[in-house]
Structure 1
Amino acid sequence: MSQTQASSGDMAKVAGKFDQANSDLTAMLTKLMDRLSVLQTAWVGSGGRAFESVKNQYQQDLAQLNKALADTAEAIKSSGASYDSTDSSAASLVAKSGGGGVSLPL
């Protein structure tokens, strides 16, 4: 059986990479659309309308991608925080139960 291992620190790093990729992708594609939008004012007729339609679809797709990346990053952060909380609780329970005067017949 295979196992997955990760520390909360690793999870935070991965979440940060998702956030950075989201930011970089948005900046790059926004810059591209800004450059292409110059064409829109010069492009009239059906070609211009087709470009506008593609641009609108692109913006919707980008919004969905941004949300997916942000949601993934948040889920990873939340998992890391839950791991730390669970680990701390378990450590506390073990510490409280160890040394309570229980002797095992060994």
Structure 2
Amino acid sequence: MQIITAEELKARLDAGEKVNLVDVREPNEHAEFNIGGQLLPLGQIRNFETDAIDNLKDAEVIVYCRSGNRSGQAAMLLETLGFTNVNNLAGGMMRWQELYS
């Protein structure tokens, strides 16, 4: 698992780069505020329900949650499931909102 900072991710998004964002929070958290990631809660990943992103196994995937804890767990799980390039957003949405809201 690699780490990406909010600043690095924001710069890539601002440059128009297409990134594969996966939000591992719960639906209510995603509805409240998100940065465009595909919703795939950590519980689903724990149950090996990753069909929605299985096409990204060989692509870069950036996972995020509220603080970086759940997404860290998700990143490790995804790696055990064969995902080869997983990045965890350091500080999660708390850090993002601190910098950009």
Question: Larger helix proportion, structure 1 or 2?
Answer: 1
Q: TM-score, normalised by structure 2?
A: 0.25
Higher Cα Rg: structure 1 or 2? 1
Q: Which has the higher contact order (CA 8 A, sep 6+)?
A: 1
Q: TM-score, normalised by structure 1?
A: 0.24
